[in-house]
Amino acid sequence: MIEFRDVEKHYDNNVIALDKINFTLKEGEVVVLKGVSGSGKSSILSLIAGLSKPTSGEVIVDKKHISKLADHFACTYRRENIGFVFQKYNLIPTLSVKDNILLPLVPVNLKRSELESRLSEQLTLFNIEEKKDTLVKNLSGGEQQRVAIARANINAPKIILADEPTANLDEKLSLEFIEMIKKMKSQKRTIVIATHDPLFFNLDFVDRVLNIENGKLL
């Protein structure tokens, strides 16, 4: 499903983020990328999402060489296949919950009824139905997290990526998050979580744990 071949990623200031990374992930797997900040796990997520391109090597998702796509098509690929939960959520605070969730679908020009049904599906799934018209800036941390996940899920993506999802959460909310991951696994998504939260290292539904250190896969 997801394959990294000899992927290297260098940044402008000669920082080597990734150094000859090779791995393959199967469809439906839940994978945890374990490593400290700066180890390169965020770069891996970014590459899978097509948000950046490798300096050398190839990223192949579902048989598509996404590292070779022009930006325009990389975005289309991302829109159709990826759901991203960011560390800082990156919601738009001045918009309502439902607007935030629907945001990825806006350029797709779906019919109104389709949008409505998908929206209500996500609202119910993640328990934020009552707050759907509230502005995001007025939500609690936990509620915002749920909105972020709903947004990531609304386009029925094949792959869900989460970057340090529990970094700003207490234990209770972290556990809630894990429950939501389970829900998404049951929807047959491939899930990659980049984290250094030990809560994730011994979960039963996690299929693999990959260790990243200094840009190398251990």
Partner 1 sequence: MLLNPEILTLYILNILFVLFSSIAFIMSLKIVRKWDANATTKLQYSLEKQSYLTATIIKYIFYIKLPLFLFFIFTLDKISFVLPGAMCGAGVVNASEYATPLLFLKIINLYLFAYWITLDKEDMQDESQPYLKQKFQLFLLFYFLFVVEIILETLMFLNIDITSVVDCCGAIFSTNDDTYLSLVLSMPHSLLLTLFYGNFILMYIVSKLTQAKLFSFLNLTFIFIALISLVAFFGTYIYELPSHHCPFCLLQQDYSYVGYLLYGVLFVGTFEGLVIGFIPFKEDELQKRERVSLVFSFVYVLVVTAYPLSYFIKNGVWL
Partner 2 sequence: MTLLVALLGSTFFLSNAMKAEYSKKIKYTPDIVVTDTKAMRETSINREVVSNILAINGVSGALPRVYGSYYFTNADRIFTIVGVDEFETYADKNLNELLKSKSFEANSMLVSKELKELLKKSYYKDYFNFIRADGSLKKVTISDSFESEDTFHSKYMIVMSEQLAREIFSYTAYEATDIAVSVANRDEIGFIANKITTQLPNANVQLKEDLIVEYESLYNFKSGFFLTIFIISFFTYFIIIYDKMSGLSSEEKREVGVLKAIGWRVSDILNAKLYEGLLISLSAYILGIVLAFIYVYVLNAPLLKGIFLKNTELLQDYSLVFSVDYETLSLLFFLSVPLYIAATIIPSWRVATLEADEVMR
Kindly give the pairing relationship between strand 56-61 and strand 64-65.
Answer: antiparallel
Among 33, 131, 163, 173, binds partner 2 (CB under 8 A): 163
User: Which of these ranges, 35-43, 63-71, 155-163, 173-181, lies near partner 1 under the rule CB under 8 A?
Assistant: 63-71
Contact 80, 155 (CB under 8 A): yes
- Starting from the edge strand earliest in sequence, which strands make up the sheet with 16-25, in order? 16-25, 2-10, 56-61, 64-65
What whole-number distance in Å separates Cα of residue 190 and Cα of residue 63? 15
For partner 2, which is the closer residue by CB, 189 or 206?
Answer: 189
Rounded Cα distance between 77 and 63, Å, is: 12
Minimum distance, C-beta of residue 86 to partner 2, in the bound complex (Å):
7
Task: Name the residue with tokens 């190839």.
Answer: 58
Residue 68 lies near partner 1 (rule: CB under 8 A): yes
List the single partner that 53 binds among partner 2, partner 1, none, CB under 5 to 8 Å by kind: partner 1
Task: Rank residues 52 and 168 by Cβ distance to partner 1 and give the closer one.
Answer: 52
Among 13, 63, 72, 133, binds partner 1 (CB under 8 A): 72
Residues that bind partner 1 (CB under 8 A): 53, 55, 68-73
